A and B are shown apart, each in its own frame.
Chain A
Amino acid sequence: MSTTAPKPRVAVVTFPGSNDDRDAALALARLGAEPVPVWHADRELPEVRAVVLPGGFSYGDYLRAGALARFAPVMESVRAFAADGGLVLGICNGFQVLCEAGLLPGALRPNHSLSFVCRDVLLRVERTDTAFTARCAKRQRLSIPVKHGEGCFFAGPELLSELEASGQIVLRYEGESPNGSVAGIAGVVNAEGNVMGLMPHPEHAVDALSGSTDGALLLGSLVDAVRQIESAQPAAA
């Protein structure tokens, strides 16, 4: 590999109502990636090695959070990208979209408190062998903010024990969960490990100015993983 390797390209999808797309792009850029903005109406994904679905209120959260965004034209390409093993990270509303699209298990329900929560929370890293957490230490505690009204992760008893058994729970809230999530779940991966969703916002925790840089561990892990893919199979172009 030459030292002037191009920056790893990561798509950041903007739906109507997304509002963390720019923060996600900024954070990825600071971590050495080249964020590539993608509009929800685009049918094709550009040449990228990972896709981030950012936070916000896509389609006004109408019907159910994430329920309408999953039918956006770009989502067909995202689905194919994920099926091909491509790395996909959904943050907050992006997590809701991935659950509604069936790319991640479970569903996100209104917070038990019925209140919108917006504060730093402590997370516990349950797995470090994923493309999204490799920079973390096992059981490391991360301080990352949440800001959502519908972040209560739900899985029925069967699905929950399946997720526990297969190690798909990657992040849990430390102490009391801010939203009533079952088993304190804050982030999950799919069975294959290439699609992850989480309610907290790592892109808001990459600068000491905002109190914590722990979000950089998660997004940095993703950038590392993309670099590894690129060195293994350089882009044809």
Chain B
Amino acid sequence: MRATVLVRPKPGILDPQGEAVLGSLKQLGFAVDDARVGRVVDLELENGDREQARAELERMCEQLLANPLIESYEIELAEDE
């Protein structure tokens, strides 16, 4: 089963990378108010059970993929074929 984990800096956490991207976009002439830069992790899971997979992904996020103190995460499971 394919899954995608999106990791974002939590609101209120200063994101210097996002600020640099924002500055560059403005320089290019784009009308942008805010930019935040996170991380995408694409995974191929052995587990075929959606609920189990989701629980496992939660644990992956808590233990490694995100630092809960400063990052939020969102799990997307691919639709069944």
Contact = CB atoms under 8 A, between A and B. Distances in A.
Contacts of A152: 14
* Interface residues of A, dominant DSSP: loop
Interface in B18-33: 19-20
B73 to A, nearest CB: 13
Interface of B: 13-14, 16-17, 19-20, 39, 64-65, 67, 69-70
Contacts of B14: 109, 112, 152, 180
A236 interface: no
Contacts of B13: 109, 154
A156 B69 contact: yes
Task: State which size class the interface on A falls in.
Answer: 10 to 19
A82 interface: no
A114 B33 CA distance: 20
Contacts of A208: none
A110 B36 CA distance: 14
A49 B69 CA distance: 31
Contacts of A64: 67
Contacts of A111: 16
